[in-house]
Chains A and B, each alone.
Chain A
Amino acid sequence: MSDTLLAVQSVSKHFGGFTALSEVSVDIRRGERFGLIGPNGSGKTTLINCISGALRNDSGAIRFEEREISRLPAYQRTRLGIARSFQLPRPFSSMSVLENLVVPLEYVVHRGSLHTADTHREAMEILRSIGLADKAQTLASRLTQVELRKLELARAMAARPRLLISDEAMAGLSSAEVDEILAILFRLNEAGITIIMIEHIMHAVMRFSQRVMCLDAGRIICEGTPAQTVANADVQRAYLGT
């Protein structure tokens, strides 16, 4: 078994004349905590959209466990083990919190063999681990911002991913809430899930990531340990603004 879980190889993506991603290559290792930073519009979300299947890359290859996935529809990538949370929460708002988790459980984990009781028990376990158990029967449309962020993560976890992509799960949260989400992500990582984190809250990225990559205008300008990245002159100019 190779050490690389996800290999992004010279991936480019254009929107009309605009180059959103230009020859981006990166290997994500099994069990890694990987941070993705960069100014707004630098291509972070485009990159994870290409990885998760919401967008198709124009050129290059994306390999997950050595399998080329860049032409697979998103739902199949989820079934292979790539789950994501959305920057702006996208709950199934007509369903209860519990039911939100039942969707991936039914469509990814328990396809074909449906035992409602088991599915509900598993959904409850995930909700307990993320601190939403008391909201299980609440309609998703009635949740607060923090709860919605947690629901995004919980729903991604319910798909039993091997790679979890967290897209700005902490934007706009208080520092106590940021710590709470960080703790959840650390726990998931300890359980063996590889995590890519996109985040603007620098201290959170620095604390969480083993490796950080900075994008600017669709190009990789730096990749290394958090300390190396912060010290990099290009990163300071393009993103940190010193």
Chain B
Amino acid sequence: MSTGTVRFLIGAAIFLALAYGLTRLVSNEYVFFALYVVLQFIVLATAWNILGGYAGYVNFGSGAFFAVGAYTGVALYKALATPILLQVVAGAFVSGLLGLAVGALSLRLRGIFFSIATVAVAIVLETVVVNTPYLGGAKGLPILRPEPPALFHSYLEWTFFLMAMLAVLAVFCARYVETSWIGRGLRAIRDNEGAAECSGVPTLKLKLFAATLSGALMGAAGAPFALYLSFIEPTSVFNLNYAVSALAMPIIGGMSHWIGPVIGAVLLGTVQQLVTVTISSELNVLVVGVLLVLFVVGAPDGILGLVRKLRRPKAASAAGAAA
């Protein structure tokens, strides 16, 4: 194991210890309710970036993957009262299959056409759920939470800690992909798919892998949702806000490094929570939109790009002068 990986794992362990410590020290439930959302966005943004950032296939249907995970969890819970961990695994599996199918679309669809197809997938799946009475249809389904495990005071604290573990897992996967030969192959695909194939990169296999992993992580993020809210209904889980946030966060944070989506998710997730509480829940969507436009125009490489520029102002200006 490289020293970087060791350091990453130590950091992850400290992060999880802090998260657990928080559940011991803080009694205000709202803290966990809000932090859960931020962590969930770390998973979604990181997962989106594996396909969108590394391989350049922009997925506008993140909401569908999230929802498929959530409804897989609900169906299992309703039928068999399965423990939440099993729901996460099942949600990841089913969403991963959906990712595989969407990845297969990339065989024929590139660029904007691929993105439009992902939107269509989301709409089709929402219609399916709305017309499935077992899943609550359009009016939704209330879910009764079970007792929390012994280590936690409330079920909300447990879902919060679970999401913290999922965030670590997602970032670990993204980091592994990015630093391995897979990541270089995905970047070659993003830069020029034809040239990548002629350089020996099995482009289809890599795209299928990236789409499946991305979908599975999004599904895992969605699986605990019904138990977190005690309620699930299609308009909230298929919400466009998930799709927009999942791509806005990596773009704002920076797509070239695994830390970018994390920075974007923490920043944007926190701002959204603050705006929701202090001003209005409608306005937080506007905040995402405005920030996205500002960054796309002013800092296309995101916060990471800005930081790099500030660190090496001389090198950048010299290179600029040469060009």
Given contacts A99-B184, A107-B185, A142-B319, contact A92 B191 (CB under 8 A): yes
Q: How far is the CA of A204 from the CA of B20 in the complex (A)?
A: 71
In the assembled complex, which residues on chain B have CB atoms less than 8 Å from the CB atom of A91? 191-192, 195
Number of chain B interface residues as a range:
20 to 34
Given contacts A94-B190, A103-B185, A103-B188, contact A74 B197 (CB under 8 A): yes
Interface residues of B in 174-203 (CB under 8 A from A): 181, 184-185, 187-188, 190-192, 194-203
> Is there contact, CB below 8 Å, between A92 and B201?
no
Is B37 among interface residues, defined by CB-CB distance under 8 A? no
Interface residues of A in 87-114 (CB under 8 A from B): 90-95, 99, 102-104, 106-108, 114
Chain A 4-40 per-residue mask, 1 if CB under 8 angstroms from chain B, else 0:
0000000000000000000000000000000000000
In the assembled complex, which residues on chain B have CB atoms less than 8 Å from the CB atom of A99? 184
How many A-B residue pairs have C-beta atoms within 8 angstroms? Tell me: 82
Given contacts A94-B187, A103-B196, contact A73 B319 (CB under 8 A): no
> Is there contact, CB below 8 Å, between B191 and A94?
yes
Is A52 among interface residues, defined by CB-CB distance under 8 A? yes
> Is there contact, CB below 8 Å, between B199 and A78?
yes
Q: How far is the CA of A86 from the CA of B203 in the complex (A)?
A: 18
Is A150 among interface residues, defined by CB-CB distance under 8 A? no
Is B204 among interface residues, defined by CB-CB distance under 8 A? yes
> Is there contact, CB below 8 Å, between A95 and B191?
yes
Is B310 among interface residues, defined by CB-CB distance under 8 A? no
Closest to A155 in B: B199
> Is there contact, CB below 8 Å, between A107 and B204?
no
Query: Chain A interface (Cβ within 8 Å of chain B)?
Result: 52-54, 73-75, 78-79, 83-84, 86, 90-95, 99, 102-104, 106-108, 114, 142, 155-156, 158-159
Query: Chain B interface (Cβ within 8 Å of chain A)?
Result: 181, 184-185, 187-188, 190-192, 194-204, 256, 319, 322-323
